[in-house]
Structure 1
Amino acid sequence: MTMTFPVQGAGLGLRRGLMEALTSVDDGRIDFMEVAPENWMRIGGRLGKAFRAFTERYDFLCHGLSLSLGSPDPLDEDFVREVGRFLRQHNIKAYSEHLSYCSNDGHMYDLMPIPFTEQAVQYVAERIQRVQDILGQRLIIENVSAYAEPGKEMSEVEFVSQVVKAADCDLLLDVNNVYVNCRNHGGDARDYIAAMPSERIRYCHIAGHFDEAPDLLVDTHGMEVKDDVWQLLQFTYQHHGVIPTLLERDFNFPALEELLAEVDLIRQHQQAALVAEQAV
């Protein structure tokens, strides 16, 4: 099966703390960018104009924070429609969200784990389908890092796979989240990656994490990517083919050239995987 992607190459998340420095980046250093729509949907003035300059220069993806797919609260359909207008306004190539929830009679300002149960699979899948119906496009869901597995009746691999199949949606494969969860809860990260449905993967995330303890990693997005995670990304390309991949960095920003070096490294791994494919 030929895989289609909304973007190509190696990307970087656009954060306000990086905007000034990123205006002077040479063409070709970054292939695409990503933002949380909640951070920009109602922004005008100088910042809104600056954001528009980026969306006119780069391909963009949106990665949402507050759709709250697993919440017991009713789906906020007005919010979904507002996101849809934002996507059209800026010609955003795709919209992804976390396979989690962040509200229960009000926002909790954190991404909470959904129980890995058959009932939750059907509940979340129906909400994803409703989002897709409203937007008129497929939703991409992301496997999330979690520090507890409440009500677990199946593995995370089974849960993620069943949700994307039941909802007929796509997958954002976060390689660092796979690594963090397998270290925290047990399991083989390569087996997890290999079990994901290739035909549904639309792009990947990679990020840094903090080693709180030998058996507790924290997905911070505030550090450089660890060598083990780079190796897991290489395995991802070997198993699923070369997939567009975005570097997430949310705070503790280094010099821009250090971030761009990590974006360059994504591209190097992609090119190496393509060469290896062609040699077979």
Structure 2
Amino acid sequence: MFSTDFGKVSGAGLGLRRTLMDPLENEEAAWPDFLEVAPENWIRVGGRFGRRFAALAERRPLLCHGLSLSLGSTDPVDWAFLGEVRDFLRKHRVQKYTEHLSYCSDNGHLYDLAPIPFTEEAVRHVAGRIAAVQDFLGERIGIENVSYYAAPGADMSEIDFVNAVLNEADCELLLDVNNIYVNSINHGYDPLAYLQALPLERVCYIHVAGHYDEADDLKIDTHGADVIDPVWDLLAQTYQRVGALPTLLERDFNFPPLAELMVEVEQIRQLQAGVEIPARALR
């Protein structure tokens, strides 16, 4: 396993971005329970920023959520990069590594997360790559349900595709509640029915975030705004089904002061405290 000696991940976390380093370093009272980073943003960072990152990572348990493994691509897995990820996970005693159920390369990096076609062939392809990654790391990883805006060539539903990949790869699920909400509006389905159809016993931890309202029937997953009430309600419903699992607030730009972000982190904690199912730490 990546880490067994740095405490359990529980409660409410925050994504560590460089914009937040100064306020987190100078804040003693209001701190999230854990931090999450994209490993590729830090693997080769040394010097002053590297030392600052290491110091922050010592203050709370650390999770890693990758951006460039490109699990759905037909390009070969970048094993050299994955080796760097493995070394990073061990060096910083990372509690869990997760990635997106998407792809971001096609003979070069696309710098975006593209949806995988919802097909049986794609299930076998991506599940095989996830299994190979897990074998290489010696650890089960978590795969995030992603937002998407078109599903060309689909011969199965989104929920059937996600469930088939999770089952065939025997991996865990990073459950993004905002993505469920966004997709439910954009593609016209019941978010609670989708949630209930997932194998919730596979959930390792949870993401919650804000999004952009392009139109009544089009929401864009941006991580650049406050979490809205319907998403908070869906998170509360999620806790009623899985318990108060560790939950991360994602924010990637339009950063308010840290104190305002911590209000949302505290709202996660309040929802967790109101759950009858006992809180669970990340496995």
Q: Same fold (TM over 0.5)?
A: yes
Deviation at 1:240, TM superposition (A): 1.6
Distance (whole Å) between structure 2 residues aligned to residue 89 and residue 199 of structure 1: 29
Residues 177-214 of structure 1 deviation map (CA, whole Å, 9 limit, x = unaligned): 00001100110111111111121100000000010011
Deviation at 1:27, TM superposition (A): 5.2
Instruction: Note the residue ranges of structure 1 that are not aligned, 5 or more in a row.
Output: none
Letter in 2 for 1:32: F
Letter in 1 for 2:177: V
Distance (whole Å) between structure 2 residues aligned to residue 135 and residue 239 of structure 1: 30
Deviation at 1:25, TM superposition (A): 2.7
Deviation at 1:29, TM superposition (A): 3.2
Q: Which residue does the alignment assign to 1:24?
A: 26
Q: Which residue does the alignment assign to 1:9?
A: 11
Preserved contact between residue 10 and residue 245 of structure 1 (Cα < 8 Å) = yes
Distance (whole Å) between structure 1 residues aligned to residue 252 and residue 8 of structure 2: 23
Q: Which residue does the alignment assign to 1:53?
A: 55
Identity %: 60
Distance (whole Å) between structure 1 residues aligned to residue 103 and residue 138 of structure 2: 22
Preserved contact between residue 176 and residue 206 of structure 2 (Cα < 8 Å) = yes
SS for the counterpart of 2:26 is coil
SS for the counterpart of 1:163 is helix
Letter in 1 for 2:214: E
SS for the counterpart of 1:252 is coil
Q: Which residue does the alignment assign to 1:168?
A: 170
Q: How does the TM-score come out when normalised to structure 1?
A: 0.95
Deviation at 1:6, TM superposition (A): 6.0
Letter in 1 for 2:187: H
Residues 96-135 of structure 1 deviation map (CA, whole Å, 9 limit, x = unaligned): 0000000000000000000111111110000001101111
The count of residues paired between Structure 1 and Structure 2 equals 272
Q: 2:126 aligns with which of 112, 124, 127?
A: 124
Give the alignment of 1:68-217 within 5 angstroms. 68-217=70-219
SS for the counterpart of 1:154 is coil
Residues 232-262 of structure 1 deviation map (CA, whole Å, 9 limit, x = unaligned): 0000001122111000000100111110000
Distance (whole Å) between structure 2 residues aligned to residue 54 and residue 79 of structure 1: 24
Preserved contact between residue 65 and residue 97 of structure 1 (Cα < 8 Å) = yes
Distance (whole Å) between structure 2 residues aligned to residue 27 and residue 144 of structure 1: 34
SS for the counterpart of 2:63 is strand
Residues 146-195 of structure 1 deviation map (CA, whole Å, 9 limit, x = unaligned): 11112111111111111111001000000000000110011011111111
Preserved contact between residue 96 and residue 140 of structure 1 (Cα < 8 Å) = yes
Q: How does the TM-score come out when normalised to structure 2?
A: 0.94
SS for the counterpart of 1:53 is helix
Q: Which residue does the alignment assign to 1:245?
A: 247
Residues 41-96 of structure 1 deviation map (CA, whole Å, 9 limit, x = unaligned): 00000000000001111100000000000001111111111100000011111100
Distance (whole Å) between structure 1 residues aligned to residue 218 and residue 143 of structure 2: 24
Preserved contact between residue 30 and residue 262 of structure 2 (Cα < 8 Å) = no
Deviation at 1:28, TM superposition (A): 6.5
Instruction: Note the residue ranges of structure 2 that are not aligned, 5 or more in a row.
Output: 1-6, 279-283
Distance (whole Å) between structure 1 residues aligned to residue 259 and residue 90 of structure 2: 32
Q: Which residue does the alignment assign to 2:268?
A: 266
Q: Which residue does the alignment assign to 1:230?
A: 232
Distance (whole Å) between structure 2 residues aligned to residue 108 and residue 159 of structure 1: 23
Distance (whole Å) between structure 1 residues aligned to residue 114 and residue 102 of structure 2: 6
Distance (whole Å) between structure 2 residues aligned to residue 26 and residue 161 of structure 1: 42
